[in-house]
Chain A
């Protein structure tokens, strides 16, 4: 029961008035950023990174916990009320959530989402508390070849399996990997692709890329849409913000199922909560179809409960993977990794030994943050929605200013602002021509890890390439990957031939 004692000490560390204040401030700021359309949890952490610079490490990470989960809670608010999910991870929950809102049950949809996020997050945090140390000791089984297999798995999964068009996914991934190799490489110390600019020696910061890609990209996207009729109106919330006993009973199994689906995805690097939320949505939909009067399409409470719970469950265990393995499985985790490094800490198996006080304080603040957010969100979600009434041009002008501030304040380099602007333009072009953004982020995040482990593995084996498929772990990973690719390919071919058939039928008729 070491974990419990440690967690108890973590609670003692953070239950000071000052640290509690940071949790609450973080939760408020995180939710505020999360509510804004197009900006999610990752952006909340990236934009608010400079805010934490003047705090001591524990205060900063406690605040991060609030920001992180605040962003996740906030995501779904705009999705439900405006049908513009704050983040790709909130899309699945918004489908039925928005329908609930349209049929006058906006307040209940928000409550379902908030409670779901709470349940998923709490269960995930409990698991992380008990299993993160075990996971950390398991990490010793992972050598260079295994880590490389994990990274490759993530690359292919996010770009070819999850994306609608594998070609466009791979194109995005390629750009991300190219960004990742800029700078002095860690093994031999060669300076690469800096074009003689000394400032580029440190590489291109993940914060610069994420803020450019998501925040400025969104601003450019909104600008390009100016003058278009948009049918996104904020739905008014009326009535009780809590759930009746029946509604609660209806949603409870979906919350738990969603959590179960979401938990494993925090450890598998497939780019965050997108996949589990959609899996959970699909599962609830199929289960619903078997009921006497199916609710899906009319605003099913389970369609909100499942995805919301699974999204937060994934985010919770992703923190476990980050702390115990040093493996960032989502953009949010990658930015937190950057934050850890800023304080001279390297997440991974050794973190629990080197900075136990900080780790356990962080874990304890997950729980505190979650409770604070539930209190903030259950009664006040409609108030957050008021933020969406600020005219769009002011919202995005404000986002621009904070993006510029965030990037400049982290490094004080004008060059970073230039790179961010270029990345923002790139993001705009990618969105315009249907390239997914997630593979690019994963490429930037895991690119350095993939290369380092690739070279280490080959150096140890003295150039023998069979080292990559010589352990049960790597063989399993590659087999699962091959199976997933085959499954997706077969599904696509079938769908295409079906479309072709129906088209030829239409033509002949």
Chain B
């Protein structure tokens, strides 16, 4: 299956060079180090070389690497093609739903399928990635107010779902089972502190 869509030149140029995000991160790191060094309060007792020298060396080194890496990425872009699954072949464990047209991200591109010799650009399932990330963000926000039991059960449920589980109701029970087992083993058994959250009253008689 070869589908050809015309690509706008500018977006195509960038599509093959998304790796430029790495030099961007490096520059951000370097700038943070430079600003931090400039605003640092150095104790007057500090013997030379003070606490600034080493971070400054790292900052300069990071900047140099970022520039070299950016040049390398611009000159050697990734292959133009990505693999698109032909039609509706279900994937992991044969249980996944049809991947809704992997091109859903809306990128214009040429897609090929089946030709082994063509170098391919790795393609990421952005939706699943964001699903997993979103779940973890919600967990972090909910941990203190709702407590471990509920938020950990949700974390399990959400990540399983993002990774392709198709049994949401069943997963709720698995998730609660796991988080309850952890609560019992670690909090009641080993004495670690896990936030009880809104279930404080219910959990207090277990411990």
Interface residues of A (CB under 8 A from B): 50-51, 53-54, 167-168, 170-171, 174-175, 177-178, 181, 185, 187-193, 195, 216, 219-220, 222-230, 391-394, 396-398, 400-402, 404-405, 408-409, 412, 414, 417-418, 421, 424-426, 428-430, 432-435, 450-451, 454-455, 458-459, 463
Contact = CB atoms under 8 A, between A and B. Distances in A.
- With most chain A CB atoms within 10 A of its CB, the pick from B144, B160, B194 is B160
Interface string B21-55: 11001100100110011001111011111110111
B69 A171 contact: yes
Contact-residue bracket for chain B: 35 or more
Nearest to B162: A223
Nearest to A186: B51
A404 B155 contact: yes
Contact of B152 (A178, A187, A405, A426): A405
Interface of B: 18-19, 21-22, 25-26, 29, 32-33, 36-37, 40-43, 45-51, 53-55, 58, 61-62, 65-66, 68-69, 72, 83, 85, 89, 91-93, 95-96, 99, 102, 122-126, 128-129, 131-133, 135-137, 139-140, 143-144, 152, 155-165, 174-175, 178-179, 182, 186, 190-194
Contacts of A417: 139-140, 143
Contact of B43 (A190, A193, A396, A404): A190
B179 to A, nearest CB: 7
A226 B140 contact: no
Nearest to A448: B54
A196 B67 CA distance: 29
Contact of B96 (A185, A222, A227, A455): A227
Given A54-B191, A398-B178, A463 B48 contact: yes
Given A54-B192, A226-B163, A428-B129, A193 B91 contact: no
B165 A187 contact: no
Given A191-B41, A223-B163, A227-B102, A167 B65 contact: yes
Given A400-B156, A421-B133, A227 B41 contact: no
Given A229-B89, A405-B152, A190 B140 contact: no
B124 A432 contact: yes
B164 A393 contact: yes
Q: Pick the 5 closest A-B CB pairs, nearest first.
A: A188-B46, A393-B163, A227-B99, A224-B124, A397-B160
B182 A405 contact: yes
A186 to B, nearest CB: 10
Contact of B21 (A189, A404, A433, A454): A433
B49 A224 contact: no
A52 to B, nearest CB: 9
Contacts of A216: 136
Contact of B33 (A181, A189, A430): A181
Contacts of B125: 223-228
Contacts of A396: 159-160, 163
A93 to B, nearest CB: 26
B156 A53 contact: no
Contacts of B47: 187-188, 455, 459
A330 B123 CA distance: 32
Nearest to A452: B54
Nearest to A416: B140
A245 to B, nearest CB: 41
A225 B156 CA distance: 19
A38 B192 CA distance: 27
A425 B179 contact: no
A175 B163 CA distance: 29
Contact of A430 (B22, B29, B143, B191): B22
A223 B122 contact: no
A15 B55 CA distance: 48
B21 A193 contact: no
Given A188-B47, A227-B85, A404-B139, A174 B61 contact: yes
Contacts of A418: 140
Contacts of A53: 190, 192
